[in-house]
Amino acid sequence: MNNNTALCPGSFDPPTDGHINIIQRGLKIFDKIVVAVAINRSKKTIFTPEERVELLRKLLSGEKNVEVTTFSGLLVDFCRNQKIYKVLRGLRTVTDYEYELQMSLANRIMYPDIETLFLMTEGRFSHISSSIIKEVISFGGSGKGMIHSFVEKKMREKLLRRGD
């Protein structure tokens, strides 16, 4: 793997405008970004991992230096197997920072070669979280300015099918 490749991991359920912004800005720093959708069977998600990969690939189709894939298990094991040494994480709030700091320190103990780089979210995206979007959409609100319109359409279809 290119040594200026970063991994951008997350659940991406749904992928938000904030996620896309972090990835696009990260491409100004890194030659390539591997977007890794976490498979966490214990988490209640709207989209399957395969659907999230498909959504992200569509959202990032104009970015030639982005690869979208899935991973399960420990992030450090995935990085080690892929020979990726940098992790890109977006931060919205102090709460995000505290959580991400703990994770990055634990990852560093397990895989000393890994570096985590934090990129502050632009102000216009700082209020966006997947859980807020899920709530807004489930109550019939608009995701405009938070998620792409085709992601919103897919969310509505999924929520209607589930009866949420």
72 is annotated as an active-site residue: no
Contact 69, 38 (CB under 8 A): no
Tens digit of pLDDT for each residue in 34-68? 999 999 877 789 999 999 999 999 999 999 999 99
Active-site residue, from 28, 41, 42, 43: 43
164 has pLDDT over 80: no
130 is annotated as an active-site residue: yes
129 is annotated as an active-site residue: no
Q: Are strands 86-91 and 5-10 parallel, antiparallel or unpaired?
A: parallel
> pLDDT-based confidence at 111, cuts 50/70/90?
very high
Cα 69 from Cα 57, distance rounded (Å):
9
Q: How far apart are the first and last CA of the chain?
A: 42
- The Cα angle at residue 150 between residues 161 and 60, in degrees rounded to 5: 125
- 6: three-class secondary structure by DSSP: strand
43 is annotated as an active-site residue: yes
Active-site residue, from 32, 52, 86, 130: 130
Active-site residue, from 52, 86, 89, 92: 92
Contact 25, 119 (CB under 8 A): yes
> pLDDT-based confidence at 127, cuts 50/70/90?
confident
**pLDDT at 163 (0 to 100):** 61
Active-site residue, from 19, 32, 148, 154: 19
Query: Which residues are within 8 A (CB) of 92 and not within 5 positions of it... i.e. 6 or more apart?
Result: 18, 121, 125, 126, 127, 128, 129
Q: Where do the domains of the chain lie, and which CATH numbers do they carry?
A: 5-126 (3.40.50.620)
Mean pLDDT, residues 117-128 taken together: 90
Cα 159 from Cα 153, distance rounded (Å):
10
State how far the alpha carbon of 132 is from the alpha carbons of 29, 34, 58, 105, in Å. Answer: 29, 26, 22, 28
Task: Name the nearest CA neighbour of 45 among 133, 140, 127, 125.
Answer: 133
Predicted TM-score (pTM) above 0.85: yes
Q: DSSP letter at 93?
A: S
